[in-house]
A and B are shown apart, each in its own frame.
Chain A
Amino acid sequence: MIGAEFMALSLPPLLIGTFAAIACALPGNFLVLRRQALIGDAISHVVLPGIVVAFLVTGRIGTWPMMLGAAGAALIAVGLIELIRRLGRVDAGAAMGVTFTAMFAGGVLLLEQSDTSSVHLDVQHALYGNLESLIWLEAAGWESLLDPVALASLPPELTRITVTLVAVVAFIRLLWRPLKISTFDEGFARAQGVPATILGLALVVTAASAAVAAFDAVGSIIVIAMFICPPAAARLMTERLEAQIWWSVAFACLSAVLGYVLAGYGPLWLGGQNSVSAAGMIATVSGMILAATALFAPHRKAS
């Protein structure tokens, strides 16, 4: 019955982890090329106040309130960063630092102030997620994949991240040319009639949605790691954007699968009894991949 156990305990987290990794890595390619990599960092910090406020407003842990709260917080953060940058004439990095630390602090304070002891909402959860707990109880084996009753009990996170991934892919596929042009030469893109500002904002919103959906399942550590590490490693492998995208998807999948397996079984191989954090392990593996490409990849040096 290894099949049944695998279907029930390992397949959903593996799929969720992989889809989350790809959904973050895809917009990450453009963020890294546009030198906006740390937008991902800022977004993943402000997700916490977003879900806390959503919880306080609705009084329960619901999927949609949390998603909306987190997305709203991400938009507010992006707006605030831009506002501080323009009004205060502060450089982008410092504006980001001011915004996300203050919003994160606000989130922690609200969390301490409100009574969340009855629900599963804490900072640790926000940071590491709980990938391991996303199990599919009804699965009895491979045949469950065709059984509508069993399929209905799949973790809702899986549906959500799948929908998000499809949306991200569609966004990049549909706006491929304008995205590519405006990433490499914004002035030329404007001259060609591409609304570069709106496109940039749309990219950030897409990244934020991916971050929010992924965060819900896997915590914010993976989100930042997947925004940056696979695209950065892919950048060192090739000089062509199309190839870079494929490399980043491959690296994201590799990190998710290898990280999950190492976290689940690595300690057992080493003689331990308990597994370690899958989210942390996935981030670590993506870092190893980046380290390897930084040392050996064909296009690691600026030409």
Chain B
Amino acid sequence: MTADTPHELAPYLDEPPQLRAGAFGKDARLLLRFERRGGRSILAEMVRKAPLLVQKALYCDEGMPGLPVVFIITNSGGILQGDRYAMDFAVGPGAIGHVTTQAATKIHEMDANHATQVQEIRLDDGGYLEYLPEAVIPFARSRFLTRTRIRIAPTATLLYAETLMGGRKYYGDGERFRFDLFSSTVAAERPTGESLFVEKFLIEPGRSPVFRPGVMDDFDVFGNVILLTPRAIADAVAPRAVSAWNKADGWAAGVGRLPNDAGLIYKVVARESSVVRARIRDFWSLVRPEVTGRPVPPEFAWR
């Protein structure tokens, strides 16, 4: 344990009996850089190291045919004990990009060590990035820590949505928030280093109950959508974002204004992931036209 090891990892530092933590095959690296060249945006740089893989950018978004879309693939079937992932997304001046994952990120049960993921996201002037990964599903006894640092120019826009499920809700007798640790920090700043906001979730259901009023109540899925954008776009999106407490249909959502004029944060809780997904898509459908003038197309039937 080093001085900068977060305190919550202290109980989970034992070496796995199989591959040691961070060994070859467990130290995924992914670097994606979008750039604007000759009037269009391309995936100009791609560095990958298994188990995280990317094939190539696809121009498959019917609402925005000029948008390079990247699917992150994994060949390990999920995150395992001792995994150390690092991802780096950069969007150059005036470039656009969309990053998503091929499937939900499964964080497997652990009996030694933990897994970490470090993300660096950088957007230059006028850049636009949609980072909308599929849900994260932490299995019982998993321990996961993720840290995301965002550096964003004042004229750029980042839409970043995370969906956290409590586990495999319908597996066995129901796996609802039975993981050991889920720690997630997102910190955003300007390229000058000026801080915009910080959000750290620390979820240790064994120590601090999740199903109580104010925390998850009796909801099972949590969606957290961060929109870092110039004030005019935030002003246009905020009043139209669906904010409601709809207990009958099993969801609640609300939009808030981030400090330092950084943009908006949209939070959704629901009993089922499909509802969170629909709310996030609604919000995304407000943001994209406001930023780019292009629509979000109807969802593919098989996604």
A binds B: no
